[in-house]
Amino acid sequence: LRSFSRLSLAFTPKQNTKHTTSRFLHGKRRKSNTNKKTTFSMSSSTTTDTELALDALQLNEPRFLELLEKLIGESRFVQNTGVGTAFVPEEDRVVAHVLKCLDPFKVENGGKLIVERKTYVPGRSNVIIRLPGKGSEQLSFVGSHLDVVPADPESWNVDPFKLTIDGDKLYGRGTTDCLGHVALMTTLFTQLSEIDGFELNTSLSCVFIASEEANGPGIGVDGLVENGELDHCKSGPVVWVDCADSQPCIGTAGAITWDLKCQGHRFHSGLPHKGINAIELAMEATTKLQQEFYTKLPPCDLEKEYKFITSSTMKPTQIRCAPGGLNQIPPDATVSGDIRLTPFYDVEEVKSFLEQTVEEMNKKVGELPTRGPWSKFIIDDPKNPSGGEKIVGKLSIEWGEHLLTGIACDLTSPAFTKMCDSIQEVKGKAEPYSLTGSLPLVHDLKSAGFDIQLIGFGLMSTYHADDEHCLLSDMKDAASILAKLIKKFH
């Protein structure tokens, strides 16, 4: 599926099956009931008691809020900036509350749920919940994670580590990303388990993962995949529950961080012709790299088809240079930035292309544009001006550890159609979207053969933000949407 040219040719994006979303743009919102536990008598019609139960299911609001309050209360301890940094999460603090909520509904306690705890690093568990069906089909909900990004209480108007309810708004670190989803999915599975006469043809599973917000190889979903714990999910769609705005996210971008290192020559700024200004070299080299990037990776039709707001981008975001006085030509500088790459271009091919571009600039560094008549990137050695030795500016590009690959969801998948239909029934319309933000792990799962579909019910406007919050009404709608989706797989 990947079609890439080499350096001399324009990049050709991958092709994909055409799709239509217009059929999801109409419909009426459905109203809901508030049953805590529902019993259905057998019906002689074609609608089964299970289908009636799923149609009637509404979020158990007290149970959801009680659990969410406990999870947000642990958010201080599950902040994550990576192994070996200031914030290493203790996901087991969240897991303990989830397991306690699930306990009465487990098979061993007379319920229907099979609950497993998978731990690869002490204190940092994952949770797998299963609700077996009669048939061999499978529908899985994966991706809701047990860690959060850090929060600075001084920047918030409420305590980030305590659930604050203000009308429809639920404030606290993790309410949108992603402890709100953990509380939602836990509550939903307990409600499914307690419905009398409830029996699905399709087996359901839900997976809560550790170590999503920062690096931690082998701790979270990658460890689960490596140990075969998600093999059962391959027999059906995987709904990744970690997006926002209650609409299908059909595409994400890859994220590549880069450092362009520029070596010059320090000298007195009153004699600029005897130095090589590393900042000026960095400016010209960055400009050249961006020009080549946008020439070789132009906007493509698939980006429009998938409703990406922007095409692939490469931009500098930081610059630093050697310490020194304002009257000194800087001897080295580093420009750092990131690339957001739509999933129709290949990460490794783009990296190789940019490395080749840097090599070509090094060969012709003296031909790069300069600032004024006395700025040069190749100079005579000031210590031996008559010796014929030259000092030459040098460039190198290095890649950061933060590397994610985007995905384009399969829009021919029945799961996509059914998810849009379910959203339309509850929200009135389905509006699939793509974004050049990035999600970790999902590309690896898709490459491993999983049918990945993306959805989430928090607010994009508060993702990783101060005063993060979600809406209770959105979470109530989410329970209805997911119940209708499950019904369509029954």
Catalytic residues: 147, 212
What is the C-alpha separation between 65 and 180, in angstroms, rounded? 9
What is the C-alpha separation between 157 and 219, in angstroms, rounded? 33
What is the C-alpha separation between 420 and 166, in angstroms, rounded? 30
- The Cβ of residue 41 has, within 10 Å, a number of other Cβ atoms equal to 8
Query: Closest by alpha carbon to 95, among 65, 62, 128, 120?
Result: 128
Any bridge partners for residue 403, and if so which?
A: 256
Joined together, the tokens standing for residue 476 give: 């109530």
Joined together, the tokens standing for residue 290 give: 């961006």
Q: Which residue type occupies 479?
A: A
What is the C-alpha separation between 196 and 176, in angstroms, rounded? 32
What is the C-alpha separation between 164 and 172, in angstroms, rounded? 7
Phi/psi for 117 (5° steps) reads -115, 125
CB neighbour list of residue 30: distance below 8 Å, 6 or more residues apart: 425, 426, 480
Grouping H, G, I as helix, E, B as strand and the rest as coil, residue 48 is coil
**Helices 179-194 and 472-489, axial angle in degrees (round to 10):** 50
486 exposed, middle or buried (CB, 10 Å; 0-12, 13-18, 19+)?
buried
Query: Closest by alpha carbon to 54, among 111, 143, 144, 131?
Result: 131
